[in-house]
Amino acid sequence: MPVPDSGIIESTPAGARRRPGRPSLSNEELLDKALDLFLEKGFAGTSIDAVCAAAGMAKRTVYARYGDKETLFKAALNRAIEEWLVPVETLRAQETDDLEDTLVRIGTILVENVLSPAGLRLLRLTNAESVSMPEIAMENVRLGTEPTLFYLADLFRLHLGGAERDFAEAEEAAQAFLNLVVGGPASNAAWGKRFEPSTVERHIRFSVRLFLHGVSDRAPPRQERGLTDLLTQAEESVALARARLEQVRRLVELRP
């Protein structure tokens, strides 16, 4: 467990003069320094000594606050995730009377957030380290994905559940929306694919249309073939990402 920052690097006996030096970093600043190193070199390639050197802090101070490298890593990662996540209030502020327009606005915010430099760094780091520390992925879901899913499910109950807001598949629809609209770009970006802004916008609009008309069973006949093709592409993209992840997992298991 983190030890609250006292703002003092070393305790000094009464009456003794303290050596001049850098002021102690706050916990937030220490975690930021640590995260930069973890992002650059990974968990295995980052040492407590390197973190202390980057932070200008005594090793015993870091150990007193976080105990070991894994605890420090998880604290730094959680702080970064909390700062990066889109608050539900931000998503709620995008709502309009038109559900499709609302979903395009929400999808744009979520996809742009995933494809931001901070989003991509976190995505790659969590993907790499989740193999040996699965609790990292679980915490990411708890902090970010679950609140978004709950919000989307309520939104679908409101718009698709009628007067009684009775939409039994609301939670499944929320998960499908994230998988289709956000998951595709996230998976491809994690493997190095770059997207032009026009490509991102086109993906979001097509995916929202596919999702919405598929859920409400009102897809116009002239769009059925195009929407089916898009769904097939999305499924193939997800399957490819899963296959690559399995390859990485097997390589990690084979390492001495």
pLDDT in tens, the chain (256 residues): 444 443 333 333 344 333 444 445 678 888 888 888 888 888 888 999 999 998 888 889 899 999 899 899 888 888 888 888 889 999 999 999 999 999 999 999 999 988 888 888 777 777 777 767 777 667 666 767 888 999 999 999 999 888 788 888 899 999 999 999 988 888 777 677 787 888 889 999 999 999 988 755 544 454 555 666 666 776 777 677 677 666 666 665 665 5
CA pair distance 33, 51, nearest whole angstrom: 7
* pTM for this model (two decimals): 0.65
How far lies 4's CA from each of 1, 11, 25, 50, in Å? 9, 15, 12, 22
Sign, CA dihedral 44-47-50-54, equals: positive
pLDDT given at position 21: 44
pLDDT given at position 205: 93
CA 59, 63, 65 angle in degrees (round to 5)?
Answer: 120
User: If we measure between CA atoms, which residue out of 113, 130, 120, 174 comes closest to residue 148?
Assistant: 174
Place of tokens 């990662």: 77
pLDDT given at position 228: 64
* Contacts for 6 with CB less than 8 Å, ≥ 6 apart: 24
Is the CB of residue 229 less than 8 Å from the CB of residue 202?
A: no
CA pair distance 169, 125, nearest whole angstrom: 33
* Structural domains of the chain sorted by starting position, each given as residue range(s) with its CATH number in brackets: 27-78 (1.10.10.60), 86-254 (1.10.357)
pLDDT given at position 2: 45
CA pair distance 237, 150, nearest whole angstrom: 25
* Contacts for 227 with CB less than 8 Å, ≥ 6 apart: 209, 210, 213, 214, 219
CA pair distance 232, 68, nearest whole angstrom: 46
* Contacts for 78 with CB less than 8 Å, ≥ 6 apart: 139, 143
pLDDT given at position 127: 73
CA pair distance 36, 39, nearest whole angstrom: 5
In whole angstroms, how large is the CA radius of gyration of the chain? 23
Helix (H) or strand (E) holding 252: helix 224-254
Is the CB of residue 61 less than 8 Å from the CB of residue 9?
A: yes
pLDDT given at position 192: 73
